């Protein structure tokens, strides 16, 4: 009987660990966070909603020798929390402009765009992830 109980406990924990991980759409200021394209994210204080509108990646792929390292650019749409109307866009780049502000209220810092391109391997745009830190400058 103890063996059956042990097996049931083991299977229960096994099934629980197989649950699909759901990405949170809530982000905290000052914390490195991964963002996916076309998903609306909300700040933990409900003051800001953002959406990654466009990701362009022209970085030199692994397996190739390039003259220029290239860059990835990310366009962020900032939305009013209550109305979801546009407040503005911010475009960040891994090379030229990794940080920028929206008005005098929020700062955005692009840390990475993943996965890094590999020669002759297509990347589905829906699998691209941007890692950023967003801070609230002023209340």
CATH code of 124's domain: 2.60.98
In terms of pLDDT, which residue wins out, 41 or 105? 41
Assess if residue 41 is contained within a domain: yes
- In degrees, rounded to 5, the angle at the alpha carbon of residue 49 between the alpha carbons of residues 133 and 86 is 120
Please count the other Cβ atoms lying within 10 Å of the Cβ belonging to residue 60: 16
pLDDT digits (tens, 9 = 90+) for 29-63: 999 999 999 899 999 998 899 999 899 999 999 98
From 133, 126, 109, select the one nearest 36 (Cα to Cα).
Answer: 126
From 83, 90, 122, select the one nearest 105 (Cα to Cα).
Answer: 90
Assess if residue 116 is contained within a domain: yes
Assess if residue 80 is contained within a domain: yes
Assess if residue 105 is contained within a domain: yes
From 95, 102, 93, select the one nearest 74 (Cα to Cα).
Answer: 93
Assess if residue 108 is contained within a domain: yes
Number of domains, the chain: 1
Assess if residue 16 is contained within a domain: no
- 23 has a pLDDT exceeding 60: no
Quick one: pLDDT at residue 88? 87
**What distance lies between CA 104 and its chain's CA centroid?**
23
**Whole-angstrom distance, CA of residue 88 vs CA of residue 127:** 25
pLDDT digits (tens, 9 = 90+) for 55-100: 999 999 998 888 988 999 999 999 876 666 678 899 999 988 899 9
Assess if residue 59 is contained within a domain: yes
Quick one: pLDDT at residue 101? 92
Quick one: pLDDT at residue 105? 86
Phi (first) and psi of residue 72, to 5 degrees: -115, 140
Give the range of the structural domain holding residue 114, as residue numbers without chain letter: 23-136
Assess if residue 4 is contained within a domain: no
């Amino acid at each position: 009987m103890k063996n059956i109980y042990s097996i049931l406990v083991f299977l229960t924990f096994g099934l629980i660990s197989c649950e699909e991980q759901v990405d949170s759409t809530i982000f905290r200021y000052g914390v490195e966070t991964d963002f996916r394209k076309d998903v609306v994210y909300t700040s933990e204080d409900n003051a800001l909603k953002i959406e990654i509108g466009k990701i362009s990646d022209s970085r030199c792929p692994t397996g190739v020798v390039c003259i220029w390292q290239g860059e990835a650019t990310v366009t962020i749409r900032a939305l009013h929390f209550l109305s979801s109307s546009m407040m503005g866009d911010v475009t960040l780049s891994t090379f030229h402009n990794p940080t920028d502000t929206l008005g005098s209220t929020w700062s955005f810092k692009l840390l990475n765009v993943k996965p890094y391109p590999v020669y002759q391997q297509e990347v589905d745009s829906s699998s691209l992830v941007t890692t950023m830190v967003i801070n609230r400058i002023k209340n």
